[in-house]
Amino acid sequence: MSTPLDRKDRDWKKGNCYFVTLQFIQDSPGLIGRKPLLPDGSVVLVVHGEIEPIDGKPIKHAWIEINGNVVIDHANNYGWVNSKEKYYQVHKAKPLRKFSREDADAILSHLKAENDLFIGFWGNLTDDQIEECRKSYNPEKSVFSADTNFTDPSDQSNQSNLIIPAKDSAAS
């Protein structure tokens, strides 16, 4: 798995949660279909929502959920692996959207084809927008099939996409 910190040329105020969640779901072995499965049968989802850090101001954020009861949050080298209940309690987490590996790849591929800016907050996507992404999805020509490296700044093809915040929100 790639190093989960894109340390070079970073604006640390914006974080790297969108990158590390995408890297995790792309790199995790055995992920398939709308319910991505790890070899042990675990369902893995990318979650976009809001959390409240210590200062109390909600921020847009992304994390991984496994089987609906474990959260992995490696943003900014945080390294959280714990129960969903504990994560939601500690961070006052509010999930807005959950995406399978296939849906994440379809959204990335669709947005990249539209404007080449494809990483950021997806919590405000509508069902219709997600369905449009699914309709145009071709797994053989997708972002994940190109083996994109979301979190390694030494990858020159990824340099221009290290931070792409949503227009109406602060990225985490």
**What is the reported pLDDT for 167?**
33
**Residue 95: strand pairing partners:** 49
Asked whether residue 67 is assigned to any structural domain, the reply reads: yes
The structure's pTM equals: 0.75
Q: Which of 23-27, 154-158, 164-168 has the lowest mean pLDDT?
A: 164-168
Residue 12 lies inside a defined structural domain of this protein: no
Q: From the DSSP assignment, how many helices (H) and strands (E) are in the chain?
A: 4, 5
147 within some domain:
yes
What total number of domains does the chain contain?
1
3 occurs within a structural domain: no
If we measure between CA atoms, which residue out of 132, 90, 92, 94 comes closest to residue 110?
132
Give the tens place of pLDDT for each residue, 65-120.
Answer: 988 888 989 887 777 888 999 999 998 999 999 998 889 999 988 887 776 556 77
Q: Annotate 38-88 with DSSP letters as a single string.
A: -TT--BEEEEEEEE--TT---EEEEEEEETTTEEEE-GGG--EEEEHHHHH
**pLDDT confidence of residue 97:** 94
**DSSP category for residue 55:** T
Q: What is the pLDDT of residue 131?
A: 95
Considering the domain boundaries, does residue 68 fall inside one?
Answer: yes
Please give the pLDDT value at position 113: 77
Domain that holds residue 47: 17-161
